[in-house]
Structure 1
Amino acid sequence: MTLEIQLGIIVGYLILALAVGLVAYRMTDRTAEDFYLASRTFGTVVLLFTTFATLLSAFTFFAGPNVAYHEGPEWVLVMGLMDGIIFAILWYVIGYKQWLLGRQYDYVTLGEMLGDRFASRWLRGLVAGVSLVWLFPYVMLQQVGAGTALEALTEGALPYAVGAGLITAFMILYVVVAGMRGIAWTDTLQGAFMLVTTWVAMLWVLAVVGGPGAATAALEAEAAHHLALGSNHYTAQWMLSTAIVIGFGVAMFPQVNQRFFAAGSRTVLKRSFALWPILCVLLFVPSFMLGAWARGLDVTVPEGGNVLPAVLAEYTPVWFAALVIAGAMAAMMSSSDSMLLSGSSYFTRDLYRPTLGFFDRDVSERREDLIARGGVVVFATAAFAASLFNPATLFELGDAAFSGFAQLALPVMVALYWRKTTRAGITAGILSSQLFYLSSLFVAAVPATYGGWTAGLVGMGIGLVATVGVSLVTSPAADERRSIYFDGLRAD
Structure 2
Amino acid sequence: MTELTFAGPSGVLILSAYAVLMLLIGWWAGRGQGGGGRTARGYYTAGGGLGMVTLFFTLYATQYSGNSVVGYAPQAYRSGFLWWHSVPFMIAIIAVYLLFAPRLYVLAKQQRFVTPTDFVRHRFGSTRLCLLTAVVMLWGLGNYVLEQLVAMGHGIAGLTGETVPYEVGVLVFVVVMLTYSWMGGMRAVAMTDVMQGIALLVGVAVLLIGALYLAGGGLGSLTTYLTETAPEKVGVPEGSDAVNWLAMIVMIGFGAAVYPHAIQRVYAARTERTLKRSLAWMAWMPLVTTGVVFVVGLAGLQLFPGLDTERSEQLVGMIANEVAGVNLFFYLMMILLFGGVVAAIVSTADSAILSFSSIVSSDIYGRHIAPDAPESRKVLVGKLAGVAAVAVLLLLAWNPPGTLLSIFVLKFELIVQLAPVFILGLYWKRMAAGPTFWGMLSGAVVAGAATLLGFGPFYGVPAGLVGLAVNVAICVIGSLMVGRSAVSDDDGDRTAATRA
Match of 2:368 in 1: 355
Partner in structure 2 of residue 418 of structure 1: 428
The verdict on how the C-alpha distance between 1:12 and 1:229 changes in structure 2, with shifts beyond 3 A counting, is farther
Residue of structure 1 equivalent to 2:384: 374
Shift of 1:320: 5.2
How far the C-alpha of 1:279 sits from its partner, in A, is 1.4
Q: CA deviation at 1:484?
A: 4.3
From 139, 150, 155, give the equivalent of 2:145: 139
What runs of 5+ residues in structure 1 fail to find an aligned partner?
Answer: 486-492
CA apart distance, 1:97? 1.9
Task: Please tell me whether residue 6 in structure 1 is matched to residue 11 in structure 2.
Answer: yes
For the 8 Å contact 1:219–1:297, the answer to whether it is kept is no
Per-residue CA deviations over 1:27-52 (Å, capped at 9, x if unaligned) read 11233222111221223222221111
* Structure 2 unmatched runs, 5+: 1-5, 326-330, 489-493
- What TM-score do you get using the length of structure 1 for normalisation? 0.92
1:449 aligned counterpart, secondary structure: coil
Distance 1:222 1:297, change over 3 A: farther
Within-5 A mapping of 1:154-173:
154-173=160-179
Q: What residue is the counterpart of 1:337 in the other structure?
A: 350
Deviations 1:166-205 (A, max 9, x none): 2221221121111111211111221121011000111122
Q: 1:319 Cα shift?
A: 6.4
Structure 2 residue 230 is matched with structure 1 residue 220: no
| Equivalent runs, 1:471-486 vs 2, <5 Å | 471-474=479-482, 476-477=486-487, 479-485=494-500
Equivalent residues of 2:431, 2:476 under 8 A apart: yes
Counterparts of 1:440 and 1:97 in 2: how far apart (Å)? 34
Matched residues in 1 for 2:239 and 2:175: separation?
41
- Match of 2:370, SS state, is helix
Most deviating of 112-121 and 429-438: 112-121
Asked whether the 8 Å contact 1:433–1:459 carries over to 2, the reply is yes
Query: What is the aligned partner in structure 1 of residue 263 from structure 2?
Result: 257
CA distance in structure 1 between the aligned counterparts of 2:12 and 2:239, rounded to whole angstroms: 41
> What letter matches 1:480 in structure 2?
T
> What displacement does 1:132 show?
0.5
Q: Number of residues paired by the alignment?
A: 477
Question: Is contact 1:223-1:296 (8 Å) kept?
Answer: no
Q: Call closer, same or farther: CA 1:15–1:402 in 2, change over 3 Å.
A: farther
Q: Of 310, 316, 328, which residue of structure 2 is paired with 1:308?
A: 316
Q: Is the 1:299–1:311 contact (alpha carbons within 8 Å) kept by the matching residues of 2?
A: no
Equivalent position of 1:67 in the other structure:
75
Write the mapping of 1:14-413 to structure 2, written as runs, cut at 5 A.
14-28=19-33, 29-30=36-37, 31-76=39-84, 78-80=85-87, 82-212=88-218, 213-231=220-238, 235-298=241-304, 301=307, 303-305=309-311, 306=313, 307-317=315-325, 321=334, 323-358=336-371, 361=372, 363-413=373-423
Read off the aligned partner of 2:285 and give its amino acid letter. Answer: L
CA contact (8 A) 1:219 1:293 kept: no
CA contact (8 A) 1:73 1:289 kept: no
1:426-477 CA deviation, whole Å, 9 max, x = no partner? Answer: 1011101111111011125xx2222221111111111100111222223532
TM-score (norm 2): 0.90
Question: Which residue of the other structure, out of 437, 459, 466, is the alignment partner of 2:447?
Answer: 437
Matched residue SS, 1:230: coil
In 2, distance between residues paired with 1:115 and 1:451? 37
Alignment of 1:450 with 2:458, yes or no, is yes
**Structure 1's 245 and 79: CA in aligned 2 closer, same or farther, altered over 3 A?**
same
Distance 1:339 1:290 in 2: 27
Q: Distance in 1 between matches of 2:292 and 2:167?
A: 29
1:384, CA displacement in angstroms? Answer: 0.9
> Alpha carbon RMSD of aligned pairs, Å?
2.0
Contact 1:92/1:269 (<8 A) preserved: no
Q: Identity of counterpart residues, as a percentage? A: 27
